[in-house]
């Protein structure tokens, strides 16, 4: 691999600076000097060296903060040159410990400096290649995962398949699933795939609005129909004409409004509050709940006739713990998605953090996963996210004992699912990646109950 022979030299006029520059020059490095104030160093990214040297001796403590943010912002690996007395200073030592790849004394031997520089440049080159690869993999997966619905496991393939089928027809859809599993995203995916895609998709949470507002929110009202109705309001159903209306938490819809909704589903007409006119509206209804609606029907809290009207096509979105093999790909996907919020130094997840993510039981499902990753990306002070950054208490991670055979089985299944996922479920490249034959892949798929999906939403059709 060819490494870049350009490097930065950050210095503040110390007497050793000229000597260091000459030394680097004699080792074949083309040196770009950088001096305070560092906030003005806009050319840093433009020149794009892979490695830099910071001469800490002589650097004013006033510039340390600027230097710190410069090192965090840059994409290079940094070597510090500092005498013992400089390193004794707590601020300097923290900067070196957290942001530099190595530290040497100002009288470092030329051969030693040459070796360190080469090593840092090589590593920097590997890191940028790896980042590029991960970027294009993320771009591919988000390109493949339409509507940003990510998932490579059989449970998710089944969901994608159902979404495709349901999108092709126009009947009401009923989505069930725990909170944060992706019910709204599923509704959006159905809309985007349906003939209604060019019209509006609106979502309304029936549990979030007070009873007296929800009727006017859904059906609209005429001017003067009640105190405060100073002008006519078009309701959500009417505003979605031609499109899809997602009614989240449908179980929270008050009983009297259930009658109105049923009437709309039967007649395809609405009446605004205070209005007499029947207005024809063409809207597809997708309803969702995270509670058991059949139980609500039994208890008389939800109308049975409305339940059957809404429940023509059903989709169940699985909880995250039922497609745990997706956690890694989801975690990396969200890491890339929120990468603009992180420091450039943060490169990804440590193995331990990934293990914790896989072992946790995710009561809040994908929404909780997103929140924990975003938190970790802000809290993390290392190049790799550690378990503590995720804020998951270790006691909440189940520790069941398992035999070596069980552990092997789990690892085998995970490796297989991950390789198939990375290779869009193509057996040959997955087999090549895992270093086994195609026959072995088929055998393992059978052993672990993994079927090869026929079609999926995540694959471009
Ligand atoms: N398969 C997925 N791939 C990528 N992102 C997902 C996936 N599923 C859900 N998300 C994301 O997770 C978050 C929660 O999803 P969503 O709001 O659809 O869940 P929900 O089941 O409707 O939640 P609630 O029951 O609380 O209304 C959203 O930010 C959504 O984009």
**What are the sequence ranges of the domains in the chain?**
6-139, 154-316, 321-396, 404-447
Interacting residues of 159 by C-beta distance below 8 A, sequence separation 6+: 151, 186, 315, 317, 318, 457
CA of 350 to the centre of ligand 1 (A): 25
How remote is the C-alpha of 211 from its chain's centroid? Answer: 35
CA of 333 to the centre of ligand 1 (A): 14
pLDDT band of 455, cuts 50, 70, 90: very low
Per-residue pLDDT of 185-199, as tens digits, reads 999 999 999 999 999
Interacting residues of 382 by C-beta distance below 8 A, sequence separation 6+: 346, 350
Per-residue pLDDT of 18-66, as tens digits, reads 999 999 999 999 998 888 877 655 556 566 688 999 999 988 887 887 7
pLDDT band of 461, cuts 50, 70, 90: very low
Arithmetic mean of pLDDT over the chain: 84
pLDDT surpasses 50 at 316: yes
pLDDT score at 411: 80
pLDDT band of 454, cuts 50, 70, 90: very low
Atom of ligand 1 nearest to the CA of 188: 18
Residue nearest to atom 29 of ligand 1 (CA): 367
Q: Which CATH class is domain 154-316?
A: alpha beta
Q: Which of 254, 265, 245 is nearest to 306 (CA)?
A: 265
pLDDT surpasses 90 at 96: no
Atom of ligand 1 nearest to the CA of 148: 4
Atom of ligand 1 nearest to the CA of 205: 27
CA of 149 to the centre of ligand 1 (A): 9
Q: Which residues contact ligand 1 via a Cβ below 6 A?
A: 148-151, 177, 179-185, 248, 290, 366-367, 370
The span from the CA of 266 to the CA of 261, in Å, is 9
CA quadruple 68, 74, 77, 80: dihedral, nearest 10:
-30
**Residues 6-139, CATH architecture:** 3-Layer(aba) Sandwich (3.40)
pLDDT surpasses 80 at 331: yes
Cross-strand pairs, 349: 385
Q: Which of 54, 93, 92, 104 is nearest to 76 (CA)?
A: 54
92's tokens:
């300097």
- The enclosing H or E element of 7 equals strand 6-10
Q: Could you tell me what percent of the chain has a pLDDT over 70?
A: 87
DSSP structure class, residue 195: T
Domains 154-316 and 321-396 share a fold: no
Atom of ligand 1 nearest to the CA of 187: 18
Question: Which phi-psi region, left, alpha or beta, contains residue 232 (left: φ > 0; alpha: ψ -120 to 50)?
Answer: beta
Fold of 321-396: Helicase, Ruva Protein; domain 3 (1.10.8)
């Amino acid at each position: 691999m060819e490494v870049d022979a350009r490097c930065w030299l950050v210095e503040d006029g110390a007497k050793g600076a000229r000597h260091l520059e000459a030394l680097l020059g004699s080792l074949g490095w083309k040196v770009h000097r950088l001096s305070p104030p560092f906030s003005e160093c806009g050319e840093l990214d433009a020149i794009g060296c892979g490695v830099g040297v910071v001469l800490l001796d002589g650097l004013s403590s006033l510039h340390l903060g600027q230097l710190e943010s410069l090192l965090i912002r840059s994409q290079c690996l940094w070597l510090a040159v500092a005498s013992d007395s400089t390193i004794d200073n707590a601020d300097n030592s923290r900067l070196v410990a957290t942001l530099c790849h190595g530290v040497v004394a100002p009288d470092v031997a030329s051969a030693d400096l040459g070796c360190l520089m080469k090593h840092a440049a090589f590593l920097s080159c590997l890191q940028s290649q790896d980042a590029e690869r991960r970027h294009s993999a993320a771009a591919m997966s988000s390109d493949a995962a339409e509507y940003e619905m990510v998932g490579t496991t059989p449970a998710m393939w089944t969901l994608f398949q159902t979404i495709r089928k349901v999108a092709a027809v126009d009947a009401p859809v009923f989505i069930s699933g725990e909170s944060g599993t992706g019910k709204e995203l599923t509704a959006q995916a159905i809309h985007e795939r349906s003939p209604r895609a060019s019209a509006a998709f609106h979502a309304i949470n029936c549990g979030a609005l007070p009873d007296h507002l929800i009727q006017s929110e859904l059906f609209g009202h005429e001017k003067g129909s009640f105190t405060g109705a100073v002008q006519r309001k078009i309701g959500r159903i009417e505003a979605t004409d031609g499109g899809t209306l997602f009614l989240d938490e449908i179980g929270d819809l008050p009983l009297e409004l259930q009658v109105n909704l049923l009437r709309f589903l039967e007649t395809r007409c609405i009446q605004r509050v205070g209005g007499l006119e029947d207005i024809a509206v063409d809207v597809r209804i997708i309803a969702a709940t995270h509670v058991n609606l059949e139980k609500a029907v039994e208890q008389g809290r939800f109308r049975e006739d409305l339940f059957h009207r809404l429940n023509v096509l059903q989709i169940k979105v699985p909880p995250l713990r039922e497609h745990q093999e997706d956690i890694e790909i989801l975690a990396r996907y969200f890491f890339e998605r929120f990468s603009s919020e992180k420091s450039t130094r943060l490169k990804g997840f440590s193995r331990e953090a990934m293990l914790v993510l896989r072992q946790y039981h995710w009561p809040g499902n994908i929404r909780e996963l997103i929140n924990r990753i975003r938190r970790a990306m802000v809290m993390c002070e290392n190049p790799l996210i550690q378990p503590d950054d995720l804020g998951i208490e270790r006691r909440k991670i189940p520790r069941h004992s398992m035999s070596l055979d069980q552990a092997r089985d789990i690892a085998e299944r995970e490796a297989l699912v991950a390789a198939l996922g990375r290779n869009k479920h193509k057996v040959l490249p997955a087999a090549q990646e895992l270093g086994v034959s195609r026959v072995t892949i088929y055998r393992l798929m059978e052993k672990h109950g993994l079927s090869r999906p026929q079609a999926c939403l995540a694959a471009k059709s």
